[in-house]
Amino acid sequence: LGGEDRRQGEKTFARWLEVETWRRPEISDMSSIMMAVESACKTLSALVKRAQTDDLAGMYHGGDSGGVNIQGEAQKKLDVVSNRIMVAQLCSPGGLSCVASEEEEYPQMCSTVVGHSAFTGEYAAVFDPLDGSANIGAGLPCGTIFGILKRPPGGKVGPRTVMQSGKRLLAAGYCLYGGQTNLVLTLGNGVQQFTLDPKRGEFVLTQPNMRIPIRGSLYSANEANSHAWDGRIQDYVNDLKTGRGPSGQQYQSRYNGALIADIHNILHYGGIFLYPADNKNPNGKLRLLYEGNPIGMIVEQAGGAASTGFQRILDVPPLNTHHRIPTFFGSPEDVYDLCAYLKRPL
Ligand code: P6P
């Protein structure tokens, strides 16, 4: 790394956050929460690596907890442990009043988690502690997705804080546990990527101000469900394959089966991620609070678009904490093309 790059590579997450809060005093009271998020991601990165190397205490392989989460998905012990780590580490600084997890049926009050009423701050966190955990057994990528909200003016702190639309998010991001561990986040002023330096045990700034290409050449979708998609989405994807789409170029298919890995790919190379409604998921599979909104904020802050096909994801008012939506993320030109197909008569 030379010059600016080398200096960037030396800027730890803590140093970057210090400068950012100096520049923007209005975010300073989120600082301790963001440091707790960073710490939780370091813990979970180590946990995933151990589960993949020595499968600590059978936490993954054959490590079913015997439980089923609110989504009806079998929970690995790793899912349960990851969730407990996120809840405990995020509640510890005191700035949060409640946390809502994809793994839990209801939001939890931090004062209950910690057992003291002092832990009732102005903020709330939403997260998916280990998204794509089914990939772990094969050593493939998975990750953590998070978002931070503040109680609405005059509102009470508590579960209602998490039931705000995504445009109210103050911070969002993901941590991708793959070949590298990459923490990609926004505090509402651009997208930054930090990479975990295993020697120093620190996240260092490696991609300041990430921008998604205005149009890409990748599409990412589970085409096993395509027979059940809206016919206009089938037409859109077929045109991407044959080069008959508006761009005239032929797209390549890439699909990891873990949202964060697919989104990270699309952020770097451009293109579109699609999880449409289908016969198994009539409202789409991905959850608005834990996936749609935090990833939607990241993609928009990087210059991209996040749509249900008919509406901006960040404008969708949550109906409940497990509200699912059809989900399209990516380069603005690609998402707009998809939405134009959906304006065609059925
Ligand atoms: P499918 C993982 O379970 C997840 O929630 C997302 O990370 C991912 O994008 C999607 O589901 C994969 O779903 O139906 O293709 O296995």
- Of 259, 266, 295, 327, the one to substitute when testing ligand 1's pocket (max ligand atoms within 8 A of C-beta) is 259
Query: Closest Cα to atom 13, ligand 1: which residue?
Result: 257
Residues with CB under 6 A from ligand 1: 131-132, 222, 257-259, 285
Taking alpha carbons only, the member of 161, 176, 265, 155 closest to residue 221 is 265
Does 65 score more than 70 pLDDT? no
Q: What is the mean pLDDT of residues 216-245?
A: 97
From ligand 1's centre to the CA of 255, what distance in Å?
10
Q: What is the reported pTM?
A: 0.94
From ligand 1's centre to the CA of 95, what distance in Å?
31
Rounded distance, CA 44 to CA 51, Å? 10
The pLDDT score that the predictor gives to residue 7 is 52
Q: Is 199 exposed, middle or buried (0-12, 13-18, 19+ CB in 10 A)?
A: exposed
Task: Tell me the per-residue pLDDT of 67-101, one tens digit each, with 9 for 90 and over.
Answer: 666 666 666 788 999 999 999 999 999 999 999 99
Residue 50 pLDDT level (bands cut at 50, 70, 90) = confident
Whole-angstrom Cα Rg for the chain: 20
Query: Closest Cα to atom 12, ligand 1: which residue?
Result: 257
Atom of ligand 1 nearest to the CA of 222: 15
What percentage of the chain exceeds 90 in pLDDT? 83
The pLDDT score that the predictor gives to residue 134 is 87
From ligand 1's centre to the CA of 257, what distance in Å?
5
Rounded distance, CA 288 to CA 319, Å? 10
In degrees and rounded to multiples of 5, residue 192 shows phi and psi of -120, 140
Does 52 score more than 60 pLDDT? yes
From ligand 1's centre to the CA of 337, what distance in Å?
23
ipTM for this prediction: 0.98
Residue 185 pLDDT level (bands cut at 50, 70, 90) = very high
Taking alpha carbons only, the member of 142, 138, 125, 207 closest to residue 178 is 142
Q: Is 248 exposed, middle or buried (0-12, 13-18, 19+ CB in 10 A)?
A: exposed
Does 327 score more than 50 pLDDT? yes
Atom of ligand 1 nearest to the CA of 286: 5
Q: What is the mean pLDDT of residues 242-268?
A: 97
DSSP bridge pairs for 282: none
What percentage of the chain exceeds 70 in pLDDT? 91
| Number of residues written out for the chain | 346
The pLDDT score that the predictor gives to residue 298 is 99
Query: Closest Cα to atom 14, ligand 1: which residue?
Result: 222
The pLDDT score that the predictor gives to residue 9 is 54
